Structure 1
């Protein structure tokens, strides 16, 4: 979710809570916001925990990863898809790499944490 939309929804929830129920409404809205943030944090931790159990930069099939990528995917979604943390190739621009057993390599360029472009390099 876009952070601007998230903050706007949080603000709307607080205002709606105030106009509907006063201080108890604000408390309820605040509780809902905190619960939402905890869910997002838990999701991120789960993705990272699952990725930590796999070899760094390894995927079962680089070609399948290549076919599932699209511009604008956040890094968390790609890590969830690969079930592996990528291997950092370059810091500026931010390039991460995933390789399969056949030696095929997918290099993904990120801009502000989202996929900007990618390449598939196959051996041979």
Structure 2
């Protein structure tokens, strides 16, 4: 969800609760907003824990990862696909790589926290 949409919904809930039910409505809306934030934090921690248990820069199948990627994905959506943290290849542009057992590699370029482009590099592509 877009950050601004989330902030807008939280403000609408707080104002709506205040107008309809007074301070009790504000407290209920605040409770719901905090609960939502805790759910998001819990999801992020589960994704990071699962990714940290795998070897850095390794993926089961680079070809399958390549097929599942799409522009605009956030890193928190990519990590469950790879089940590992990517190996940082370069700083500008921000590029991460995952290699499978056969030597195929997926290089992922991130821009502002989202996937901007990626490429699959096979072992025979590197030789020529």
**For 2:88 and 2:117, how far apart are their aligned partners in 1?**
15
The residue aligned with 1:16 is: 16
Q: What displacement does 1:91 show?
A: 1.0
SS in 2 for 1:41: helix
Mapping of residues 100-115 of structure 1, within 5 Å: 100-115=100-115
Shift of 1:13: 0.5
CA distance in 2, matches of 1:105, 1:43: 28
Looking at structure 2, the residues matched to 80 and 30 of structure 1 have their Cα atoms a distance apart, in angstroms, of 30
C-alpha root-mean-square deviation of aligned residues, in Å?
A: 0.5
Structure 1: which 5+ runs fail to align?
none
Offset from partner CA, 1:40-81 (integer Å, 9 cap, x none) = 000000000001110001110000000000000001100121
1:90, 1:4 → 2: CA distance?
30
Cα distance between partner residues in 2 of 1:83 and 1:2: 25
Quick check: 1:123 aligned with 2:123?
A: yes
- Residue 32 of structure 1 corresponds to 32
Q: Following TM superposition, by how much is the alpha carbon of 1:99 offset from its aligned partner in structure 2, in angstroms? A: 0.6
May I ask how many residue pairs the two structures share in their alignment? 124
Structure 1 CA distance for aligned equivalents of residues 90 and 109 of structure 2: 9
SS of corresponding position for 2:88: strand
List per-residue Cα deviations over 1:60-111 (Å, max 9, x = no partner): 0000000000000001100121111000001111000011000000000000
Runs of 4+ in 1 over 3 A off after TM superposition: none
**What residue is the counterpart of 2:96 in the other structure?**
96
1:45 is matched with: 45
Q: TM (normalized to structure 1)? A: 0.98
Provide the TM-score with structure 2 as the length reference.
0.95
Show the counterpart of 2:63. Answer: 63
